[in-house]
Amino acid sequence: MARVDYDAMASSYDAGRAVPLTALEPWRRALAPYVSAEGLVLDLGSGTGIFAEAFARWFGARVIGVEPSAGMRARAVLERPHPLVVYVGGAAEHLPLKRGSCRVAWLSTVIHHFSRLEECAPEMRHALAPNGAVLIRSAFADRLDHIRLFHYFPEARAVAETFPTLRATVNAFAAVGFAVVALHRVTQQWAPSLRDYANRVRLRADTTLAALTEAEFSAGLRRLDLDVAHEHEPSPVVDGLDLLVLGRRG
Per-residue pLDDT tens listing for the chain (250 residues): 567 789 888 889 999 999 999 999 999 999 999 999 999 999 999 999 999 999 999 999 999 999 999 999 999 999 999 999 999 999 898 899 999 999 999 999 999 999 889 989 999 999 999 989 999 999 999 999 989 999 999 999 999 999 999 999 999 999 999 999 999 999 999 999 999 999 999 999 999 999 999 999 999 999 999 999 999 999 999 999 999 999 987 6
Say what the pLDDT of residue 51 is: 98
Please give the residue range of the domain that contains residue 126.
6-143+162-190+239-248
Residue 87 belongs to a domain? yes
CA 187 → CA 120, 190, 241, distances in Å?
27, 9, 7
Residue 226 belongs to a domain? no
Residue 65 belongs to a domain? yes
Which CATH number characterizes residue 116's domain?
3.40.50.150
Do residues 205 and 102 make contact, with C-beta atoms less than 8 angstroms apart? no
DSSP code, position 165: P
Residue 149 belongs to a domain? no
Residue 223 belongs to a domain? no
Q: Using H for helix, E for strand and C for coil, what is the string for 6-73?
A: HHHHHHHHHHHHCCCHHHHHHHHHHHCCCCCCCCEEEEECCCCCHHHHHHHHHHCCEEEEECCCHHHH
- The pTM of this model reads 0.95
Say what the pLDDT of residue 2 is: 67
Reported as a single tens digit per residue, the pLDDT across 55-75 is 999 999 999 999 999 999 999
Total domain count, the chain: 1
Rounded to whole angstroms, the maximal C-alpha distance in the chain is 56
Residue 197 belongs to a domain? no
Q: What are phi and psi of 132, to 5 degrees?
A: -75, 165
Residue 44 belongs to a domain? yes
Say what the pLDDT of residue 116 is: 86
Do residues 62 and 87 make contact, with C-beta atoms less than 8 angstroms apart? no
Residue 184 belongs to a domain? yes
Say what the pLDDT of residue 7 is: 87
Say what the pLDDT of residue 250 is: 62
